Structure 1
Amino acid sequence: MRKLLSHHHHNVLSSSSSFLLPPSPSPSPSQFPIVPDYTTHEIFFFSSIPIAKSGFDLATLATIAALLLLSLISFSVVIYTRLRSRRLRHLENFNSLWTVRLLLVTITSIWAVNEILRLPLVRRKYLYPFLPTLNLHQQSNICKIHVVLSLGFLEPSFLVTLLFLVNVSIKKSNPSRMWALVSLLAVCAPVTLLQLFFVYSSPLEGRLPRFMHGSSVAGSDYFGSRTALCTYPFFSSVVFGGFAAAYAVAFLCSCWRVMDLVINKGIRNRIYLLAAAVMVALSVQIACLSLSWLWMPEEAAYGYVVLAMFLFVAGSMAVGEVILVIKPIAEALSAAAELQRRPAEERTTSL
């Protein structure tokens, strides 16, 4: 009798709980179409203990803030020189490339903002509250945009603009501003198109491992929610590596020509510093992109590799802004002030 009562009581609880608790909805197949939950061994080669990467994100955010502050200073200096050149004849020739310098600063700023898109902490706290319906597929599209902009357009554009300013420094006449824009588009367009092709329509996508074409992996953020963690696809890294190899040759040749013509020791030291910063950053970036395929984005080793790559690239951009924007403009303003002071001193002496 007790068994029957207990069995009946259990049936009542089960039936009542079925009315009180709504059935858990089964996920539809279209909800997570592109970012499947692959295991570590299916995508990458090594595994380690996953850790919370908030420290990596905070370090990245601090560097981005410093780079944006430097870009703001550079932007202000360029605009100030532009306004001063309207009253000082000595700055007219120097200020002819103000749009190119402004382009360099703008590309650096956009690159820094674009790096925020790959940070799960920032996306969760500041992006998703305004877009509450983003699923993993839509989040993976954000990672695709980040990869195409970073490796396909912004970094190549910065490097090409940097090379343009270095080449102009040894020419007697400055080229037109449109020539700088045409050169930028002509060099960066093939890289951008290749990145778009491999990121959005990768060939043999179903037959190749995901790390070769995927720009994101399904994982968990710091709050335990499922999210798309951004990665760098193998094909995108190969395209950028080919561009970096060709660029390194052209950049070193330009720096060598500048050092042959420049007598000023200070300027030579700046060229040495700029060449070292760019070449080291490119080498570290290619090495880190190659190593990033060995670990999952949730692991500590991946966080260290991506952080190192980001710090070196951001450092080279900061060095480029200081050497090619802030320092030349400061010297030009100082020289213009000195030239203005001399006539006044000469008039005083004659009197």
Structure 2
Amino acid sequence: MPLTRIFSEAFGVLTICLVALLILLGLLCIGYTFYLRSHALGQGFNQLSYFSGPWIIRITFVLFTIWWGFGEILRLNFLRREGRVFNELDFKWQENVCRCYIVSNLGFAEPCLFLTLVFLLRAPLQNVDTGILSQKWNGKTAGCVLLFCLPFFVLQLFLILIGPELHKVERELPPYFTRVATPGMQNSDDIALCTYPFLNTILLGLFATVLTAYLLWLGRRVLKLVINKGLQKRVYTLIFSVSTFLPLRVILLGLSVFSKPEQFLFEALAFSSFIVQLCCAAICIVILVYCPVADCLALGNLTDLEARRRVVLVDHNDTASLFANRGHLEESVATSLERSSDASTKRGSISFRTFVRDETSAEAFVELSLFSPSRDGSPPASSSLVGWPMRSPARHAHGQGN
């Protein structure tokens, strides 16, 4: 059933809006990454260099995502309506735009996107000195991504270029195997509506199969090294997203060849494949770019953290002494009252809380002046525990320990 113009316009506008949000997310993550480099590490936090080491590759990952988003906008029929960008071009040039889209997105942006993801995921498995702490790691990784993507890019380009010639040799081959665009009529003007050649989709499916298998194996190795439950959830989410969304996108693109542009089935399948890839890219950006930078910045000033840690340890020791002394008192309070005359000559140190039996029934701290051997010559009034409040001696020594 032909798709009405309202549905076509809605798919186009929604695609542009979602791509704009994805680009905004990517730009925010890039700015967040630069903030980490300039603000945090610029103040001498060299301990964070391990977490910020792959910052160039993270930015490259975001740039590949933005590239893919722009390509998805170029394929829209929305831009080929009367009075819009590509409507002024003749059919041949519009068809060339569709060819460029196939080579750019299916042959370069998407493979580079997932190859970069693999290199970021396997970074913790590498040697520390030659891995992400190495100054050359980012350059080597970028070179490896482009090198591994090159054969796939060449194959996609080859299928696009030989498509017309292939039909001359194999006339029984269905047109949708190599068709990159199909003509559409609007106000008696020919427009080229982009399609997905089945051979190019099959090639993308082979890439997705190999990548998914390797990613599952790689994720299993990474999970063995992760001891934090939060990081385990991130790795599981990443692996599940890529291994599910990427094959699903290939299946949707493959099913789209059985219908034509400007039909509801084709537009629904194409838009669904776009949504699948968009969700996968957004999840990967959040897990691989935003979360590591946020965790790194959350560490804050390590010097202040260390100072605060020491203060907390001191307070903890004082509090532990308080509860230890109080617990010791509770165990011996019955016998202490019976032997109060003898206890004054023994050596030690006990502090506890009592209630003063006077008119106000006020609560006070009482120090039992029982000194350690190192304080033989110290007067009784000088004995007090570090961090404890100095209180005036109680007028009545009778009380009950809490």
Bin of the TM-score, shorter chain as denominator length: 0.7 to 0.9
Secondary structure of the equivalent of 2:184?
strand
Partner of 1:105: 62
Q: Quick one: distance in 2 between partners of 1:243 and 1:138?
A: 29
Partner of 1:170: 125
1:296-317 deviation line (CA, Å, top 9, x unaligned): 1110011110111000101000
Matched, 1:148 2:103: yes
- Say if 2:216 and 2:239, in contact at 8 Å, map to a contact too: yes
Q: Quick one: distance in 2 between partners of 1:70 and 1:324?
A: 13
- Say if 2:80 and 2:191, in contact at 8 Å, map to a contact too: no
- Where does structure 1 lack aligned partners over 5 or more consecutive residues? 1-47
Distance 1:126 1:328, change over 3 A: farther
- Once the 2 structures are TM-superposed, how far is the Cα of residue 224 of structure 1 from its aligned partner? 7.0
TM-score, with normalisation over the residues of structure 1? 0.80
Q: Quick one: distance in 1 between partners of 2:305 and 2:278?
A: 41
Partner of 1:118: 75
**Of 176, 179, 185, the match for 2:146:** 185
- Once the 2 structures are TM-superposed, how far is the Cα of residue 346 of structure 1 from its aligned partner? 6.6
Partner of 1:319: 283
- Say if 2:209 and 2:247, in contact at 8 Å, map to a contact too: no
Matched, 1:68 2:68: no
- Say if 1:94 and 1:332, in contact at 8 Å, map to a contact too: yes
Partner of 1:205: 167
Distance 1:281 1:143, change over 3 A: same
Partner of 1:32: none
- The one-letter code of the counterpart of 1:182 is G
- Say if 1:140 and 1:215, in contact at 8 Å, map to a contact too: yes
- Say if 1:117 and 1:123, in contact at 8 Å, map to a contact too: no
**Of 255, 262, 282, the match for 1:298:** 262
Matched, 1:128 2:86: yes
Partner of 2:51: 94
Q: Quick one: distance in 1 between partners of 2:260 and 2:113?
A: 29
Partner of 1:51: 4
Q: Quick one: distance in 2 between partners of 1:251 and 1:346?
A: 40
- Once the 2 structures are TM-superposed, how far is the Cα of residue 170 of structure 1 from its aligned partner? 3.2
Q: Quick one: distance in 2 between partners of 1:290 and 1:345?
A: 59
Secondary structure of the equivalent of 1:296?
coil
- Say if 1:86 and 1:92, in contact at 8 Å, map to a contact too: no
Matches within 5 A, 1:130-279: 132=88, 134-173=89-128, 174-175=131-132, 176-202=137-163, 203-206=165-168, 207=171, 208-220=173-185, 225-279=189-243
Q: Quick one: distance in 1 between partners of 2:127 and 2:28?
A: 28
- Say if 2:238 and 2:287, in contact at 8 Å, map to a contact too: yes
Secondary structure of the equivalent of 1:327?
helix
- Say if 1:214 and 1:232, in contact at 8 Å, map to a contact too: yes
Secondary structure of the equivalent of 1:111?
helix
Number of matched pairs: 298
- The one-letter code of the counterpart of 1:185 is L
CA RMSD of aligned residues (A): 2.0
Q: Quick one: distance in 1 between partners of 2:26 and 2:115?
A: 18
Matched, 1:341 2:304: yes
- Once the 2 structures are TM-superposed, how far is the Cα of residue 147 of structure 1 from its aligned partner? 0.6
**Percent of counterpart pairs with the same letter?**
30
- Once the 2 structures are TM-superposed, how far is the Cα of residue 287 of structure 1 from its aligned partner? 1.1
Q: Quick one: distance in 2 between partners of 1:280 and 1:297?
A: 26
- Once the 2 structures are TM-superposed, how far is the Cα of residue 348 of structure 1 from its aligned partner? 7.5
- Where does structure 2 lack aligned partners over 5 or more consecutive residues? 315-402
Q: Quick one: distance in 2 between partners of 1:128 and 1:296?
A: 19
- Once the 2 structures are TM-superposed, how far is the Cα of residue 185 of structure 1 from its aligned partner? 1.6
Distance 1:164 1:229, change over 3 A: same
Q: Quick one: distance in 1 between partners of 2:309 and 2:64?
A: 45
Q: Quick one: distance in 2 between partners of 1:61 and 1:220?
A: 23
- Once the 2 structures are TM-superposed, how far is the Cα of residue 178 of structure 1 from its aligned partner? 2.1
Q: Quick one: distance in 2 between partners of 1:154 and 1:346?
A: 47
Q: Quick one: distance in 1 between partners of 2:27 and 2:11?
A: 24
- The one-letter code of the counterpart of 2:257 is W
Q: Quick one: distance in 1 between partners of 2:309 and 2:23?
A: 44
Q: Quick one: distance in 2 between partners of 1:128 and 1:187?
A: 33
Secondary structure of the equivalent of 1:227?
strand
- Say if 2:184 and 2:190, in contact at 8 Å, map to a contact too: yes
- Which of these two proteins has the greater Rg computed from alpha carbons? 2
Q: Quick one: distance in 2 between partners of 1:182 and 1:205?
A: 36
